[in-house]
Every structure is written in C-alpha cells, then in structure tokens.
A and B are shown apart, each in its own frame.
Chain A
C-alpha cells in the first residue's frame, strides 16, 4: 500500500465481506436445506437456522442413488484422469524436448492441435468412438477387404466384426478426458527451462535416457506435478457431460451425476433436503483439496492456463 487511507481500507473490507457473503450464501442455504426434514424445507419462509436431520438426509441420499458406490466411482475416475494424464504428458514432453528424431515436429504439431478443440464440441462423435472404440480398425479391415482376401485364399467365408464397447466402464470415463495436450505443454515449457548441464553431467556419469528421466527430470518436476494434479483432480471430479452420456448403468455414474438425479422435478416429491445433503457431500472432497492445498492450487491454475 502506498498511502494510508483508513476510509478506503474500511470500504475494501466491506467489499470483501460482501464477496464472502455472495460466495457463502448458496452454500449456507444448501446446508440449512440439507439439515431439515422435507416438511420443514417446504415452509415459506424457510428457517434461517440449520435443523438436526443432516445425517438422516445423507442416509436417504445414500440409499436413493447408491451414493457410496458413486463416490467410489468419482474417486477412481478423477484419480485415473490425474495419474493417466500426468504420466502420458510427462513421457511425451520428455520425448519432444530431449530427443532429436525425424518426426519430432510432426508429433509436436499433432499434440499441439488437440489444444484447440474442447471436448464439448465433439460430443456426439466421441460418444460413438467410446461406444465402439474398435470401429476405426473395422474400417481398415473392411477397406482392405480382408475377409474377401481370406475367402479367396482359403475358400471359407469369414465375417470379421470387431466390437470394443467402453460404455459403463472406468476406461470409458477416463480415456476421452485424458485426450488433450494442455499438460504436455506445461511440462514441455518446464523442461525447456531445466539447465542443459544436467543432461551433460548425467551423460558423463554414463546415465541412459530413461535413467536421466527417472533420477533427475522427474524429481525436478515434482512441484509442477503436484500443482497440476490438483487442477486435474478437480477437473475429473466435477465432470458432468461425459459421465452423463457414457453411463447408462446407474451404478457406474459419478457422484456429480447422482446429485443431478436427486434434484426434484415438477413430477417428483420436492425432496430438496436430500438433494442438498447430497450436493454438500459431493463437493466436500474437492473443497477440502482446495482449502488444504491452496498455494499449490493457485499455482496450478495459473500455470495450466499459460
């Protein structure tokens, strides 16, 4: 601060308190609603203080949409996305910054292009790819007329039909969300700042490429990996469109989808109390991550959008 002006400082505190009220208002009412019975939540006006039925509502949500299983699914999917994306990004960033090979620039641009299109704009075709991931291979077989070839060679007629359905599987929920290069670029930028001497020294000591990667590059990247992992965990946990489309089996859905199924519609009973308790339960893990690891989270956010 350049000068002291107590009035402006007081106004700033008021503004920030206003901001906090704005952030907390929906959360507070969600908590109140989540702790009332269904009759109490119908009252107009609603009570301003929490009731005593929170755990009861959680139990109802738990049995209504099998919340325990959904939370497990959410953990598996978001950790799968985090680990998967960090792993493939580290390897490919290592390849395009530390190796000189013929198709380096081509590989670079292929990865680079994927940054340009968000998942949401290719919803329908990606759905088809996940419903049958073997389809492109089928095209190759049909295109080369392999079954006709087999028939002329052996005299037997064989239909080759491949199917690899990933709907309602964890890999179907995880893999399409790993397919973007943002993390690769983050690591590439970081690798470019690593001192050149490290590799030269490692070479002198006789280290192979992979040994250099494991013992020098990976430990150096640790803080970047942590920061990015937080962002990816939140991204995975809060996914909505993918799980909505890819899971027709209710027990394979994620917690966020479970909350969506708890929202009262005009033709269902207005169980806002159960919906809110489910919503609070679902937001707890990511909120805890942000609160506990705030510094890392801010860093990851700023880094990953560069």
Chain B
C-alpha cells in the first residue's frame, strides 16, 4: 500500500507493511545488540562493581571505582597528558592544514598533484605512521635524530618524556593534517567569489581577505574540525602510542584511551578500566553533541 502522510524522516510515498521492515532491520539491530548495547551496558555495570581478576567474587561498590580513579596520581597524570597531547595535536594540525589549504586555493598549476600527495597519509594506518616517525627520530639510527644531535641538542624519546610527547604529537598530526585539509579546501572553494572580488576592489589584499572574509566564513568548518580532531586525538591515536612509546617513558605519553587498555588487559583491573571507559564514553557523548550542533547549522559543501 502506498500512503501519503507526513512524518519526519519518512518518505511521503511509503509502504505500510510491518513484517518486511522488521526483517530488513534485523541484521543491523542484532549486530548493534551484541556488539554495541550489551558491551556498553556491561561497561556501565562493571564500573560500579569490584571483581578480582579471575571473576570469582564480585560485589557492588557504588562510586568507589570512580573515587579511586580521581584519587590516583597516575590517572590525574593521564588526564593532564591527554589534555596536552590533544591540544598540541589539534593546534598543529589545524594551523598547518589552514596554511596548506590557503596555498592550494591560490595556485592553479599542479593543484591536483599537490592535493593528491597531501591526501596520502589518510590511507596510511596510524601504527605505520607511528613506525615511520619512530624510525626518523630513533636516537640510534634515525636520520632526523642525527640532524638534531648534530646541532648539539640532546634527543632521546626513550628516556625523556618531553621528547616522547613531541614525537607522538608530530606523528599524530602528520597522519591527520590531510583530513582537516580536505574540508578546508572544500570550504574555501565555497566562499562566494563575488565577496572576494568586492573586497579586492576596496583594496583588501589576499592575506587580509583570507583573515577577514574566508576565515569567519570557515567558522563552522573549523568548529567541526576541532571536535573531529579531539575525537581523533582521544580515541584513534591509540595505535601511534602503542607503536611508538607504549605510554612511556614513565607514563609521559600515557593518554586516557591507552590507560584503559593497559589497566584492562595488562593490569587486569577490570573495575577501574570499566570506570575509565564510562568516563571516556561521557566525554565522547559530549563531543558528539557538539558535532550535532554543527550539523544543525547545515553547512553546505560541494567538491
């Protein structure tokens, strides 16, 4: 039966059978049930329970796991490390991407060749990006480390926490600049030409136009990219940390998502790990809500 009634998110011409859509939705809902809802609910439950590593005894402890977390020096350290890491990564990524996007927008010749190469790191796995940067900066064999040392600067990411942090920030940014770049190039392309021409007639040079016209118009894009960079920094950089520093030296690069993994799988402290998962989940939720605000603005891209 085709009926015509209006309901949000539903086609005006639609079917009214009930059995078929249930069947169509079944695979998606089953997978979500097993690998999304059940694990999420279990994380919530475990966060309020205390269990020994072998699961023999379990009892309800309320907010004790959370309290213990905030009292532990290593967790507070991990929060601080994560803030430093994500902020540095975010700023470096977005500034470099903006400069490259601005330059791409100005050139005509070789434009697609430049774009093609700058996009490449998107295809490369974070762990491989990590391996390559770890090699460049390896104090024993790395060519860049050699260069640094030849200037008389001490460099050893295996011992010095600051060096290690710098290294993972560089590797993480290198991998993610291309993502911001794609969106910024698209955003600059969408800036109305007439605006730019009018400003040029009024005597505004290219740099001034960029800061006074293009940048404000890119505002929503920059907002979106900032949240996406935080999502990336918080969750997806796990592989880089694991390949390059293992969270070390002495916890200097032990970001939150790496600590969840370490406490859950290496120290087998499931309650604490689950409480950390729940905190990360709330944070992820916050970031998603921020993203929805962006989606509401309905920014239009066309490439």
Contact = CB atoms under 8 A, between A and B. Distances in A.
Given A46-B146, A245-B265, A289-B123, A136 B303 contact: no
Contacts of A144: none
Interface size class of A (residues with CB under 8 A): 35 or more
Contact of B274 (A87, A124, A256, A291): A124
A290 B122 contact: yes
B11 A191 contact: yes
Contact of A110 (B11, B32, B108, B236): B32
Interface stretch (B16-24, B58-66, B79-87): B16-24
B24 A260 contact: no
Contacts, number: 336
A91 B27 contact: yes
A9 interface: yes
Interface in B241-288: 242-243, 257, 260-261, 264-265, 270, 273-274, 277, 280-281, 284-285, 288
B11 A238 contact: no
A5 B206 contact: yes
A123 B261 contact: yes
A260 B243 contact: yes
Interface string A237-265: 11011001100000000001001100100
A88 B257 contact: no
Contact of B135 (A96, A128, A272): A272
Given A20-B118, A120-B257, A27 B146 contact: no
A282 B125 contact: yes
Contacts of B229: none
B151 interface: no
Contacts of B99: 15
B106 A9 contact: yes
A133 to B, nearest CB: 6
B77 interface: no
Contacts of A128: 39, 42
Nearest to B128: A279
Interface in A112-138: 114-118, 120-130, 133, 136
B120 A287 contact: yes
Contacts of A46: 141, 143, 146
A116 B275 CA distance: 18
Nearest to B100: A19
B153 interface: no
Contacts of A178: 31, 35
19 contacts: A8-B206, A19-B103, A19-B114, A42-B140, A88-B28, A89-B28, A92-B24, A97-B10, A99-B15, A99-B21, A110-B32, A122-B40, A124-B265, A125-B274, A199-B14, A209-B15, A240-B126, A244-B242, A294-B115
Given A20-B114, A91-B25, A259-B127, 15 more contacts: A2-B196, A19-B117, A23-B117, A95-B21, A96-B21, A99-B24, A100-B16, A129-B39, A194-B11, A200-B2, A234-B122, A259-B125, A286-B125, A297-B119, A305-B224
Interface of A: 1-3, 5, 8-9, 11-13, 15-16, 19-20, 22-27, 29-30, 33, 41-42, 44-46, 87-89, 91-92, 94-102, 104, 107-108, 110-111, 114-118, 120-130, 133, 136, 175-176, 178-181, 184, 188, 191-192, 194, 196-197, 199-200, 203, 209-210, 234, 237-238, 240-241, 244-245, 256, 259-260, 263, 266, 270, 272, 275-276, 279, 282-283, 286-287, 289-291, 294, 297-299, 301-302, 305-306
